[in-house]
């Protein structure tokens, strides 16, 4: 992989991130002329407090002054204070980030592994019983809003049997040792991550299946068979690697959907991560929080896309050896 490819991809990612920052300014400062009107406690503010708030939110001066101030504070990761809790937005976000990282991380790994496996197997044996059963199942999974899965799991597994906790990050008051606490947290993680995995399994496996179908007629498979390779070797060593390539970028784009899914999943299970923070911010019209949460979500997806592009460069010899 040439340096030029890497630099080009990194610059592209940074430009997209910058576009998000500009978009944020446009939306929250120009489309919405006076964000303070959405502040619930505004009627109780004295004139002085109002002035302070306007200054603190960078709402004073011309639009250009505001823009400069906005870029400056964004670069310093200063997103103002939450309308709701009045704590700095950055603190709110860093406090809740780990929970979401674990949830989204576990679910993404599970979704990719299971989804790719099912998709590859179904595509390889097109029309077989496995293909028909798995494709219709994944179609139904794909059509189901992930929060509905969450509600069903909550009703069946948590509500009726009590095998799993109905929400939260951990049990309150159980603080006996590292192992116990780890087990407790894992116990709380099972249903939310299962929900998110079920919710996005469908799209990943459909992507992989289509990609697999595209490789079926390729000459190199005929060549591999002509060499006398076993059918299973043709699949794992020749078809799957080539089918994986186009799925890499499609999967990176789908990651944006998983981020969205985390918002509703965390809401169903009252799982205190960034998703629940987003849902709370919507109900409280907490503009500073929403603005920052949108930036964080976009940054995550842009980063994931960059990783996918670079992986693609590593995996695909045509890019690895070019230029």
Residues that bind another protein (CB under 8 A): 16, 19-20, 23-24, 27-28, 31-32, 126-127, 139-140, 142-145, 147-148, 151-152, 154-155, 159-160, 166, 210, 213, 253, 256-257, 259-260, 263-264, 267-268, 278-279, 282-283, 285, 287, 290-291, 293-294, 297-298, 300-302, 305
Give the nearest distance from C-beta 227 to another protein in angstroms. Answer: 27
Q: Cα–Cα distance between 202 and 190 in angstroms, integer?
A: 19
Tell me the C-alpha distance between 181 and 178, whole Å: 5
- Phi/psi class of residue 77: alpha, beta or left (left: φ > 0; alpha: ψ in -120 to 50)? left
The C-alpha atoms of residue 107 and residue 299 are separated, in whole angstroms, by: 19
Residue closer to another protein by CB (options 157, 229) is: 157
Q: State the Cα–Cα distance between residues 177 and 175, nearest whole angstrom.
A: 6
Residues 236, 238, 239, 244, CA torsion sign: positive
Minimum CB–partner distance for residue 94 and another protein (Å): 18
**DSSP classification of residue 14:** H
Cβ at position 180, least distance to another protein in Å: 26
Shortest Å distance, C-beta 206 to another protein: 10
Angle between helices 89-124 and 178-216 (to 10 degrees): 40
What is the nearest approach in angstroms of another protein to the Cβ of residue 98?
19
Helix (H, G, I), strand (E, B) or coil at 34: coil
The helix (run of H) or strand (run of E) holding residue 124 is helix 89-124
Closest distance to another protein from the beta carbon of 292 (Å) = 11
Output 10 or 183, the one with its CB closest to another protein. Answer: 10
């Amino acid at each position: 992989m040439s340096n030029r490819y890497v630099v080009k991809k990194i610059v592209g990612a940074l430009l997209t991130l910058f576009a998000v920052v500009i978009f944020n300014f446009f939306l929250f400062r120009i489309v919405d002329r006076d964000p303070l009107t959405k502040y619930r406690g505004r009627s109780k503010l004295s004139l002085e407090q109002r002035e302070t708030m306007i200054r603190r939110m960078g709402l004073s001066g011309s639009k250009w002054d505001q823009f400069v101030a906005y870029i400056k504070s964004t670069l310093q990761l200063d997103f103002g204070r939450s309308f709701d809790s009045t704590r700095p937005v950055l603190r709110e976000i860093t406090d809740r980030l780990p929970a979401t990282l674990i949830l989204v991380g576990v679910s993404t790994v599970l979704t990719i592994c299971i989804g790719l496996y099912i998709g590859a197997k179904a595509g390889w044996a097109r029309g077989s019983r496995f293909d028909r059963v798995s494709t219709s199942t994944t179609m139904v999974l794909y059509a189901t809003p992930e929060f509905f899965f969450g509600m069903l799991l909550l009703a069946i597994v948590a509500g009726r049997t009590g095998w799993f906790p109905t929400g939260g990050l951990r049990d309150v008051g159980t603080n006996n040792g590292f192992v116990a606490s780890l087990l407790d947290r894992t116990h709380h993680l099972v249903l939310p991550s299962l929900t998110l995995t079920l919710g996005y399994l469908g799209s990943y496996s459909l992507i992989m299946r289509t990609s697999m179908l595209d490789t079926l007629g390729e000459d190199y498979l005929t060549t591999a068979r002509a060499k006398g390779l076993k059918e299973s070797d043709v699949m794992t060593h020749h078809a799957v690697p080539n089918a994986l390539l186009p799925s890499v970028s499609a999967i990176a784009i789908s990651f944006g959907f998983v981020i969205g899914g985390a918002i509703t999943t965390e809401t169903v299970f009252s799982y205190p991560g960034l998703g629940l923070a987003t849902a709370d911010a919507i109900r409280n019209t907490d503009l500073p929080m929403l603005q920052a949460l949108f930036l964080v979500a976009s940054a995550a997806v842009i980063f994931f896309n960059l990783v996918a592009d670079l992986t693609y460069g590593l995996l695909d010899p045509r890019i690895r050896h070019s230029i």
